[in-house]
Amino acid sequence: MNLIELKKISKSYKTNIGSFEILKNINFKIDKKKSIFLFGPSGCGKSTLLNIITGLDVPDKGSILYEGKAVKENHMELLKKDIGIIFQDHYLISELNVIDNIKLKHQNISEINEILNYFKIDDLKLKFPNQLSNGQKQRVCVARAMVSRPKLLIADEPTSYLDRENADLVINLILDACKNFDLSTVIASHDISFKSNFDYSYTIESNSLIKC
Ligand code: ADP
Ligand code: MG
């Protein structure tokens, strides 16, 4: 059973020198509880595809189904409730400590404590972003993305600013947590070394999605 299905999605960007097609006729299914790796060189369209899945961007053509029903103006509701996102940048507010940063997303304090405890980062609770290493910041972001117990976790290049050791740690942390909480996940990266950790992998070549 799939959670989200993209049907015949196309997307172009218009610039002052013309219109560029990035995605053409993409069909993509995200099965429940499965992990998907999306890789490919910078500029191939990974972020564009992920932003269409999360509703942060809209396709020119095609449709998106969530649990078999067409997603239209309710995409933002899904984003609040059922889709967690981890970005390349942490987007933590520097004036707020870890708890208050997560509270911006989810107000239930006991659930925040539960997720911090799950990720073994209780000791970071009262720290401010500039007191955290890049690896710790990204672990806070993983916790923030999962605090509302979404059904789908989307991560766009979550390891770009991490060294090898922290990159492996964050990917494994996300994959283990997804298994534990029964989440589907799509993680985009240009680092192909993660591929074997996932259930399925895809790349984008010449505007098309290719299973590999
Ligand atoms: P990736 O995430 O694989 O690096 P992106 O999806 O970010 O690729 O971008 C795909 C292509 O679309 C790139 O050539 C990029 O420059 C272009 N692009 C992305 N967003 C925009 C935009 N808002 N306007 C114009 N071009 C864009
Ligand atoms: Mg990108």
pLDDT in tens, 31-59: 999 999 999 999 999 999 999 999 999 99
Can you tell me which atom of ligand 1 is nearest the CA of 42?
4
Q: How far is CA 157 from CA 12, 93, 173, in A?
A: 22, 20, 15
- What is the spatial distance between Cα 66 and Cα 69, in angstroms, rounded to a whole number? 5
Please give the pLDDT value at position 75: 81
Ligand 1 contacts CB of residue 15 (under 6 A): yes
Ligand 1 contacts CB of residue 177 (under 6 A): no
Q: How far is CA 91 from CA 27, 48, 142, 187, in A?
A: 31, 19, 12, 18
- What is the spatial distance between Cα 102 and Cα 145, in angstroms, rounded to a whole number? 9
Ligand 1 binding pocket mutation candidate from 44, 48, 186, 210 (most atoms within 8 A of CB): 48
pLDDT in tens, 64-113: 999 999 998 788 888 778 999 999 999 999 999 999 999 999 999 999 99
* CATH number among 3.40.50.300, 1.10.760.10, 3.40.50.2020, 3.40.50.720, domain 2-211: 3.40.50.300
Dump the DSSP string for 84-125.
EEE-SS----TTS-HHHHHHTT---HHHHHHHHHHTT-GGGT
Please give the pLDDT value at position 76: 80
pLDDT in tens, 168-185: 999 999 999 999 999 999
Q: Domain residues of the chain, as ranges?
A: 2-211
Give the amino acid at 208.
Answer: S
46 CA distance to ligand 2 centroid (A)?
Answer: 5
Please give the pLDDT value at position 158: 95
- What is the spatial distance between Cα 105 and Cα 165, in angstroms, rounded to a whole number? 28
Please give the pLDDT value at position 80: 77
The average confidence (pLDDT) of the chain is 95
- What is the spatial distance between Cα 167 and Cα 143, in angstroms, rounded to a whole number? 16
Q: How far is CA 135 from CA 76, 155, 183, in A?
A: 29, 15, 22
- Please determine, for residue 1, whether its predicted confidence score (pLDDT) is greater than 80: no
pLDDT in tens, 114-127: 999 999 999 999 99
